[in-house]
Structure 1
Amino acid sequence: MARDKYICQACLAAGRYTAADEVDHIVPRAEGGTDSENNLQAICRPCHDVKTRAEIARGANRSHPRRGEKLNADAGAQTLGGGSKV
């Protein structure tokens, strides 16, 4: 955290100065990131929570390949049980 001067790097990128209280893997270990210093950053708890939720969502989408796919426009509209178009 000393390298980042104890400032949240996510906040700094958004033009805010917030004290960092955690260290974050820039590229998560689950996505191939390492523990090397160039993959670590100082981050505040709120930014870390937001980043972690996004990483969890990406992981869920990888586990379920159909999540996040857009409907194919050529496939036509889907219908619900009563025949209503969605």
Structure 2
Amino acid sequence: MGEKLPIKTVMAIIVDNRKNVAEKVQKLLTGWGCLIKTRLGLHDGVLDNCSDVGLIILELVGNSEQHEELCRKLNLLDGVSAKYMDLSFEENR
């Protein structure tokens, strides 16, 4: 019989117009920092050829109400789109 492993919550955030909105996103994520276990930020380009669109991937802790509220607040920012999902797997042992 399989053992149910813990649920993992992952949030993906697309930030358009990074140069204008990144500071607001950073401030919001800092305020909710105790929920963020892992954070990965990605964007194309280097030096003078830096993309204005970025992707942030978060692994979250906490409860679903907190995840929902963080997502809602991010989506209120112009040029930001955030979604999250819960992942769980069963493992046969």
TM-score (norm. length: structure 2): 0.29
The structure with the greater share of residues assigned to helix is: 1
More strand by share: 2
- Largest Rg, 1 or 2: 1
- Where relative contact order (Cα < 8 A, 6+ residues apart) is larger, the structure is 2
